[in-house]
Amino acid sequence: MSTGARQEVPAAAARSGPEAPAVDTILDRAGPRRPALRRAVVGWAFALPFVVLFLIFMAGPVLASLLMSFTDLRSADLRNPLAVDFVGLDNYARLFSDELFRRAALNTVLFVVVGVPLTMATGLAAAVGLNAGVTKFRTVFRVGYYLPVVTSIVAVSVVWKFLLHPDAGLVNSLLWLVGVDGPNWFFESRYALPSLILMATWRNLGFLMVIFLAGLQAVPGQLYEAAVIDGAGRWTRFRRVTLPLLRPTLLFAAVVTGIGYLQVFEEPLVMTQGGPLNSTLSVSYHIYNQFGFGNYGYASAASYLLFVAVVLLSLLQFRLMRSTD
């Protein structure tokens, strides 16, 4: 009996004592938090070097250039950049009154308006041909079409200078065979910008070909079989089946290509240096020149106008995608 009494006392004392959360409950509550907190600390520890470098080398310069666009900072003021004058929106107003910037903006808009549909059309044609062609040589053609995308712009420019050379170029030689005197493509203002657009189209159609080919291979074959049973021809199947199912892919390709062409820089830099008579001057190349001239405030303002154009084009993509859905 004494043993039983000893066993009952702790139980009775536990029942009569003040109510407190059980130890198991406390561990259940605190236990999951400790591993989660540990994982969060470890994760931030690994991410901290990138965050610090991003703030120093990316976010910092972006913020500095935004502030710079509201000043008259020039190369002569770099010794004391805090002493420059705050000019508000004068740099932005100056852009709209600058004839050279307006010419660069017009060239860039023409590059986008003409280059995007042309690149998409050729990329889609290549993708459709590869999707329906012989599988034996499909890989060879894929590599051939995509090779200019990963090729250096210097190598591409050498090829196009050979093709469009006014005297010994392949294009002018073919035109001479049919009795046409070919122009000096890159040194006549009428032909310089179209020549760069053709060069950019040839260089970038392989990228869009890969995207369109992935979209085409995702189209169910049963839809084409049903269309054939209904008597639809090849063009009808392409217009009624392929294009509607490729609409999201087409929108993505249009926006990605448009953003790239809004920032066109390498082609005029390497091929024409913005000439002749500024006929190939783009906004990006104009910004590059202004930084070289030391007009940092003016160039920063032009950069942010280009950034606004890119953002508006991206918002247009989201709106079109929403309406498509």
pLDDT digits (tens, 9 = 90+) for 252-268: 898 899 999 999 998 89
Of the two residues 30 and 321, the one the predictor is more confident about is: 321
At residue 304, the pLDDT reads 93
Pick from 21-30, 181-190, 295-304 the range whose average pLDDT is largest: 295-304
pLDDT tens sequence across 73-91: 776 666 666 667 788 899 9
* Mean pLDDT along residues 175-185: 86
At residue 9, the pLDDT reads 45
Residue 292: CA count within 13 A, CB half-sphere: 6
The answer as to CATH 1.10.540.10 being correct for domain 90-324 is: no
The H-or-E segment that residue 18 falls in is: none
Q: What percent of the chain has pLDDT over 70?
A: 84
At residue 241, the pLDDT reads 86
How far apart CA 236 and CA 217 sit, in angstroms, is 18
* pLDDT above 80 (res 192): yes
Instruction: Give percent helix, percent strand, percent coil of the chain, each to the nearest 5.
Output: 80, 0, 20
pLDDT tens sequence across 275-324: 888 999 999 999 999 988 888 889 999 999 999 999 888 788 778 766 55
* Mean pLDDT along residues 190-215: 92
Structure tokens at 24: 């198991």
Beta carbons of 200 and 261 less than 8 angstroms apart? yes
Of the two residues 263 and 32, the one the predictor is more confident about is: 263
At residue 5, the pLDDT reads 45
Among 32-36, 176-180, 234-238, the minimum mean pLDDT is found in 32-36
Beta carbons of 77 and 315 less than 8 angstroms apart? no
User: How large is the angle between the packed helices 99-132 and 283-293, nearest 10 degrees?
Assistant: 140
* pLDDT above 90 (res 153): no
How far apart CA 161 and CA 155 sit, in angstroms, is 10
At residue 32, the pLDDT reads 53
Q: What angle do CA 112, 115, 121 make, to 5 degrees?
A: 130
At residue 1, the pLDDT reads 44
Scanning 133-220, the segments in alpha helix (DSSP H) are: 138-146, 153-163, 170-177, 189-217
How far apart CA 85 and CA 290 sit, in angstroms, is 19
* Mean pLDDT along residues 138-142: 80
Give the model's confidence band at 134: pLDDT under 50 very low, under 70 low, under 90 confident, else very high: low
Of the two residues 269 and 133, the one the predictor is more confident about is: 269
Give the model's confidence band at 105: pLDDT under 50 very low, under 70 low, under 90 confident, else very high: very high
* Mean pLDDT along residues 37-53: 87
Q: Where in the chain is the domain with CATH 1.10.3720.10?
A: 90-324
* Mean pLDDT along residues 50-64: 89
How far apart CA 264 and CA 282 sit, in angstroms, is 7
Give the model's confidence band at 121: pLDDT under 50 very low, under 70 low, under 90 confident, else very high: very high
Give the model's confidence band at 26: pLDDT under 50 very low, under 70 low, under 90 confident, else very high: very low
3-class SS of residue 71: strand
At residue 117, the pLDDT reads 92
Beta carbons of 236 and 227 less than 8 angstroms apart? yes
At residue 19, the pLDDT reads 52
Q: Read out DSSP for 249-267?
A: HHHHHHHHHHHHHHT--HH
Select from 269, 275, 288, 282 the least CA-distant residue to 153.
Answer: 269
Give the mean pLDDT of the chain.
83
* pLDDT above 50 (res 173): yes
